[in-house]
Structure formats: C-alpha cells, structure tokens
Chain A
Amino acid sequence: MAHIHLEDGSFTLFFAVAWWVVALALIGIAIWLLRSRYKPDDKKIIIAAFVTAAAFAIFQVQIPIAGGVHLNLTPLIGILTGPIIGTLIVFIVNVLSAAIGHGGWGLVGANVLVNFSEVLVGYLTFHGMKRITTDLFSQAGVATFAGLFVGNIVMIAIILISGIQGVHQTQSQILAGLSLLAAVNMGVAIIEAFITGFIVAYIGKVRPDILSGEGGRK
C-alpha cells in the first residue's frame, strides 16, 4: 500500500541516510522499551513471528487491480502486536523485501517510517473505535482505513521533503501526482480493510485472548 516504490538514487544520499537514521532511532527506542518496560510474553512473540511472515508474503503478492497493487497488512500488525513490536516487524519486512529487490535499500528507512505510521494509527484507531462500536469487524476496518490514509500522507511528505533527483517537476506538480497515486492506493485499502476486518473478527470469535493486552481488546 503506502510503500515508496522508487529506485535507489531517487533520493539524494543525504536523505536516504537521514531517513535510515530516523528509522534506526525509532527501532532503538522500540528495542529499549521492549527490554525495559514492555517485555513481551511468549504468546506475543509467536504472534509477532506469524504476522511478520504473513506481512512479508503479502508484500510480494501483486493483485491485478488498477494495473497491479499489493497489500501491506500494517494496520493488522498494529492491532495484533501493538506499535512497539510493530516497529520491529515493519523493519524486518522492509529489509527482507529489499533483499529480494522489492524497494531500494536506500528507501528502507523511509519505508519503515511510512509503515510505522500505519501501524501506530491502526493501533490507536482500533482502540479508539471501542468507544463508538463493539463490532470488531468495523473497528478493524476503520482502523485500516485510518492507518493507510495516514501512511499515504507520510509517504507524500517524505517524498516532498526529500525531493527526487533528476526530476524537473515543481513541488506542487509532484504533490498533485502523488495525491492521485495516494487516492488510487486508498482504493486498495478497501480490500485491505475487509481482509483485516474479517481476520480480527474471526480471531475475536475463536481466540479473543489474542486480542487482549497490547494491541488488543479486553
């Protein structure tokens, strides 16, 4: 979904490194929190492992809609594991994806930030939705819409701040182009919202304990 699909060299070396540094700082904070304050139990680690594998697999599956798109499942990561473990998951998924040529190495940092925003907003919206509804499907569906919408905004912001090398378009032209792209991306969010909604509703029925605690529902 909101995943910067530009080649290495699109960003200057300065910005490629800068986004990496910000992403690594975020990962450092996540690791520190996991070691000091929010030690995950075995159940959470197993869920994280499964979600990582699922997200990596779904990253590589191109759905033939609008010429080809792929899903992320980042809001689902946020809902099931929370934003702290989610930060590590999106980093792993982005590194493994870059290793097989899906996204440039120089863009991993930027993509981690984009995906982190989706995880965080998905998690917060899912919990915020509990005040409005008790229906798990709509909680997760709306959380997915919100997460992916914010992810697209972060993606646009990162590209606008970084600028694209070898391009003579003005910022407003790039913004217009990216806005159209984000709008098409959001169409795919509909599919992702249904998938996430059904998965969360199903888990809520058969294993509600998985949705408890961080990133879950009590």
Chain B
Amino acid sequence: MLRIDYLSIGGLPPLSFEVAPGQCLTIEGPSGSGKTRLLRAIADLDPAEGYVFLDGVERSEMSAPLWRRRVRFVSAEPAWWAATARAHFPPAAKLDRLIAALGLEHVNLDRPVAELSTGERQRLALVRALADDPPVLLLDEPTSALAATNAALASEFIKFQILAGRIVILVSHDAVQIERLATARLHLADLEWPRVPESAAA
C-alpha cells in the first residue's frame, strides 16, 4: 500500500490518497499542472512537504537510494548514463521475458544507446525500471514516443504489471490507455483548495 499524506506540490492543494497493490491511479491535467512534479516528489527526487508511506514506512525512515529501489520513477524522456543499454541493467537480471513482452527481441543491447530509436529507448527504460523488480512504478507518459501498435503492446505490459500486484501511478494523455488501465483517476485541474471556515478566515 502506497499512502500519500498532505503532499505539497507548488500551486496544488496538499494531496492525500492511497494506491493498493494491483491498482493503478492515473493522473491527468494540462501541461504545467504538476503531474511530473507529483511523481518526482513521490520518488523523493525533489524536496516536497508532506508524507509518503510504503507499507507503513515513511520515506524519511529509510535511505533515499533504498526508497527509490522500491518506488521507481520512469521519466517521459528517459536518460542513459552509460554507452550501451546492457550497461544499465543489473548483470544478473533475467530480462528475456520483459524484453519479449515489449517487442524488443530485435534490439542489440550492446549497441550504443544513442543509435537506438526513440521508441526503442522508451521501452528499454521500462525494462530498466523493472529489472530489479520494484513494488511501485511511477510512469510519466510511458508510451508518448511509441507508434500505435507498440503503444498498445506497452499498455498491455503495464496492465500485466498491475495484475501481478504492482502499485502503479500513471501520467497519461491517452484516453484509451487511461480507460484500459485506471482503477482510480485523479484530475489535477479539478482540485479545489480546502475551504477555510469563515470564522477562521476573519
């Protein structure tokens, strides 16, 4: 269970919600409404007021690297720190099934990452994120750079991850994908600030 308690993202009212294993919360909203910032704050990549619990343990109770090994943020524009894709995966990881499920069997993992297509890199970022089996996935527009068939393949892949019991928070602009994956939806543009009682405001 991932619990967000009064998490403050600039410009938004404090957010509180829960996502259980096997559930997928989708986040929608116009550009600049704070979707990416919300995911980054949950992964503890940016400082943010408030609390985030995973199975009852707050993020500040464990080291940040340990937290991020469990709560995995996948950027909309994944970056690569080494030359080849293979260098980004744990050496002992069994990746065949992940790679096959995303239609990446043809990709040579020992080629320079820069020579792969944008779509291949985006799918490889999903492989990288799942290589060490984190319980929570924070996906920022994971299919934005994919052609229709591959996007559908990736959506099914995410669906499988949800069914397998992972906690997923998904930022997406794709109505079909949201319809297919969401067990709960959050629209950042619709949020209202909590009303202050008139007696207190005066």
| A in complex with B | no
Query: Using a CB–CB distance below 8 Å, which chain A residues touch chain B?
Result: none
